[in-house]
Amino acid sequence: MSATSYAYRGLEAVEKKDWAAAVPLLDKALEETSSPLWLLARSQAHLSLKNYEDALRDAELAYHVAAERGSGTSRKQMIDAQYRRAVIYHKLKQYADSDCCAKWSMLLAEGRPAREDDGIGKKVDADGNYTVTYEEAVKDNENLPDYSMKDSLRDPAAPTKAKTGFESQWTRAYVWRTQVLGALKRLPENDPGRKVHVVKIPPRPKVERKPEPQVVELDSEDEKPVAKPSEPVPGSVPDEQLKLRVDFYQTNQNVTVTLFVKGIKKEDLNVKFSKNKVQISPIARAAAPYVKPGDREASSTLHLNADIIPAGSRWTVTPQKIELVLQKATPGKWGSWGKEEIGITESISEEDATESPAVAAPAQASAPAVKPAAAPAYPTSSRTGPKNWDKLEELEGAEEEQSDVNGFFKRLFKDASPEAQRAMMKSFTESNGTALSTDWNDVKDRKVETVPPEGVEAKKWDS
């Protein structure tokens, strides 16, 4: 599984507050990439699990990585990292440190330089006790955003500040300071929680990466050991995670199954149809990117919900998906398309297999090839010429459109000549919808009578 996949599942676990599951998943993700977002998520999980040292390390590392990347989200991640430090120090009962970090989070949210010497950590007395009070924090509204809190908190004389986009983060840190300094106010005079130990930019924590496992092999020429990195073990990803995302729709004659998978090369793909299953390989799955063409994970067997006609089925490939159009052996609706099985447990026999839908099945040697009789083309007034109405069902999607009567008549009217359209309008209107003619010479000089279905009597609206 890739780092992104581990991170996605880890972030999902954090969202669900499943902290114990989130940490190992994010550990795996962060082995490859030091993402500030992932570090902050793991910091939150450690904090909730009361692993305060680990939580603090992740928050400080997230601050440094975000600052180094300088991307569009870096300042927000730095703001969040300082706020996370404030929360962790509060849990450690280092209230002075907590207030300093919260204030630094506010300054970043105001757009102030990250390396500005603001003197926050130097506000201590001769005994080293933090001197900022609860009352001072409440009145610290000089840079209060106009839209983040009530107007009653604003100093009318303060200049109007431009939006920074981090108003909610500023308000969050402001509220946090009132809680921290309220707790600090109740501490004894010489309590350790009054001391300032933090600095604005913390030392960068060291990243400990686990060494890659090595497989030692002997070189055939000089018999010297050659170290080679080991690959993931096939079968290490559960089958349910390997299965592809599938969508399908159907008509009476066909069922179309779409398998969403990227990076498939048409020239490499092998698709075999039998009467009740389809075998596909090779598939480079996103959940197991290490698979090779010969691995079990590189193949899928689709067990179909009913029988198909292999020779009448086909497949296509795009950069994003594989699409199978399966011809039903018996027309009708299927309850579902079927199910996917990873690997090939039973190969399709040569007699049943149809590897290339574009190639017809070979004829018997003793039987001469018989050219199918051409279907009759019925007269029509359409500008497109005679139509073979018996072959309409073979057109792509025609089965579904035929079940829509309105769609059928719309197509018929659209393709008709102007005279045929006039005939259709006149006959349909005069017959109260019971007759339809495309022959203008037949209906132009007469009124088309209402012809109700058998067993039904036509009546006027007011009768």
Looking up residue 130, the CATH number of its domain turns out to be 1.25.40
Segment (H or E) for 341: strand 338-342
- 93 with 150, same domain: the answer is yes
pLDDT tens-digit series, residues 12-48? 999 999 999 999 999 988 888 889 999 999 999 999 9
Q: What is the extent of the structural domain holding 110?
A: 34-194
Distance (Å, rounded) from C-alpha 141 to C-alpha 446? 89
- 39 with 183, same domain: the answer is yes
Contacts of the segment 108-114: beta carbons below 8 A, 24+ positions apart: 108/75, 108/78, 108/79, 108/82, 108/166, 109/79, 109/164, 109/166, 109/167, 109/169, 109/170, 109/173, 110/143, 110/161, 110/164, 110/166, 110/170, 111/164, 111/166, 114/67, 114/78, 114/201
- 246 with 180, same domain: the answer is no
8 A C-beta contact, residue 432 and residue 396: no
Domain assignment present for residue 21? The answer is no
Domain assignment present for residue 224? The answer is no
Q: How many domains does the chain fold into?
A: 3
Domain assignment present for residue 12? The answer is no
Largest Cα separation within the chain, whole Å, is 114
Domain assignment present for residue 10? The answer is no
- 54 with 170, same domain: the answer is yes
Domain assignment present for residue 357? The answer is no
- 140 with 253, same domain: the answer is no
Check residue 81 and give its pLDDT: 95
Q: Which amino acid is at 224?
A: K
Hey, which bits of 212-333 come out as E strands?
214-218, 225-229, 245-250, 254-260, 270-273, 277-281, 300-304, 314-318, 321-327
Distance (Å, rounded) from C-alpha 241 to C-alpha 257? 19
pLDDT < 70 regions, the chain:
1, 141-162, 208-236, 345, 347-408, 453-456, 459-463
Residue with tokens 């691995």: 295
Confidence (pTM):
0.46
- 97 with 188, same domain: the answer is yes
Domain assignment present for residue 91? The answer is yes
Last residue of a domain, one of 272, 307, 342: 342
Q: Could you tell me the CATH number of the domain that includes residue 272?
A: 2.60.40.790
> b/e map of 374-410 (b: 16 or more CB within 10 Å)?
eeeeeebbeeeeeeeeeeeeeeeebbeeeeeeeeeee
pLDDT tens-digit series, residues 119-152? 888 899 888 899 998 888 877 766 565 544 444 4
- 56 with 164, same domain: the answer is yes
Chain CA centroid to CA 15, Å: 16
